[in-house]
Amino acid sequence: MSALIPLLLVLASACGALCRSDGKQPWLEQPKLHFAKVEKSRQAALRVLQADASDATALMSLLENQLLLRQRAEARLSAQKLTRLLSPRDPRYFRVASLLAAHQDYVAAIPLMENVQREFPQSYEVNFNMALAYFGAQAYEKAAETLGSLINHEPRAEAYNLLASVEEQRQLYLQAVQAFQRAAELEPHNENYRFDYGYELLRHQTTDAAIAVFASGVRDFPNSGKMHVGLGCAYYVAGQYEEAARSILQSTTIDPHNRLAYFFLGKLYERAYALQDAITDKFRAYAQQSPDDPWFYYNYGTILYLRSQTDPHPDYEPAKTYLRKAIDLNPGFGEVYLQLGIISQREGQFDRSVGFLAHAIQANPKLAKAHYRLGLAYTRLGQGDKAKLEFEVFKKLDSESQTEPERRQIIQFLVKGRL
């Protein structure tokens, strides 16, 4: 649902269209304020209300600041005072509802929105934002009903995009795909709608169709890094690894700081042999930026280990340095401990590898390779009974298909590209 602006922006924007003539939306800037400034504003509103408890402007300011300070109970009291003062036909009434929904207090917001909708049954802004609030509250049936009526009256791309997300939650996947497609068709120049459509196709295993959609996206949005990543992910799932690597390498040229791209390149390194040097060069360059990304350091450390294997006198220290950086950022990163265990065994330090592999299994008991490697370590250390147990666990895990879990992981990571 990347094309849907975050609730705070959507609701406040719609509120502005319905409520304000000057087009200004000062409350949108409030989240940027320092806590002390917000508290100062709250205190100022309270002083005004001490003189006049029915001052709607001061109450609105108080409500906004209470929401920013996460004072939900107090904010509800302020909202109740405002809605007693105001009529549902008053634009400020809808603003109250919008602010509550923007801060995810749907229980308080939705009844107010329904009151406004009864006064303005044909208003696109009111109906769309009420559907958005229903979606946030997980009231998917009501969201679908509201959007169905809205689309019949005024079929806009954003409404179809929201409907698609609603249908996805209702597990009506065909309808979700159709709605994402319709949103992309209605606004062919909207990158987000095209990306959402391709993602939905990929998620439900229509890989060829997803490749076609992302390829059209790359053609129509040549400077979109995430569209290249989407195409690369689709190629990856289809098993076309070199095509995947080319597309994702291109994305790093467009956006050198796209973490998702480096995650996929790490996955692709061993499978896109012809492009291994290009992938390594990208990692080497990005490492100079000291990214705050444990996956990057894990993948780069693994790449350096693999490349060192071709050296008659391999030096594993660079690989271990980056793997340790990954652990510093994420102490529970099981795959990193597994890789350190593998390197220890390569160095002949089987006793040392036991600790790393035990950490890996503790972090992720389903890491089949960790059990296998731990079994090898116990074998070399003369602990046959322990080795037998680890090999049995490995055999059980390995018998389960690892392809589909990896596919799900790849697609799940692509979700980040939708944000």
User: What is the full per-residue pLDDT of the chain (419 aa) written as tens digits?
Assistant: 554 433 333 333 333 333 333 334 333 444 554 688 888 888 998 999 899 999 999 999 999 999 999 999 999 999 999 999 999 999 999 999 999 999 999 999 999 999 999 999 999 999 999 999 999 999 999 999 999 999 999 999 999 999 999 999 999 999 999 999 999 999 999 999 999 999 999 988 899 999 999 999 999 999 999 999 999 999 999 999 999 999 999 999 999 999 999 999 999 999 999 999 999 999 999 999 999 999 999 999 999 999 999 898 999 999 999 999 999 999 999 999 999 999 999 999 999 999 999 999 999 999 999 999 999 999 999 999 999 999 999 999 987 755 556 666 666 666 655 44
State the pLDDT at residue 265. Answer: 97
With tokens 């040097």, the residue in question is 277
pLDDT of residue 54: 92
**How high is the pLDDT of residue 339?**
98
CATH (residue range 1-137): 1.25.40
pLDDT for residue 398: 85
Read off the tokens for 135.
Answer: 């979606």
314/335 Cα distance (integer angstroms): 22
Alpha carbons 265 and 276: distance in angstroms, whole number: 9
Q: Per-domain residue ranges for the chain?
A: 1-137
One-letter amino acid at 289 equals Q
pLDDT score of 36: 84
Question: Is 199 within 8 Å of 213 (Cβ atoms)?
Answer: no
Structural contact between residues 7 and 136, judged by C-beta atoms closer than 8 angstroms: yes
Q: HEC states along 335-360? A: HHHHHHHHHHHHCCCHHHHHHHHHHH
Distance CA 143, CA 139 (A): 6
| pLDDT attached to residue 7 | 37
CB 195 within 8 A of CB 418: yes
What pLDDT, on a 0 to 100 scale, did the predictor assign at position 39?
Answer: 87
Distance CA 224, CA 217 (A): 8
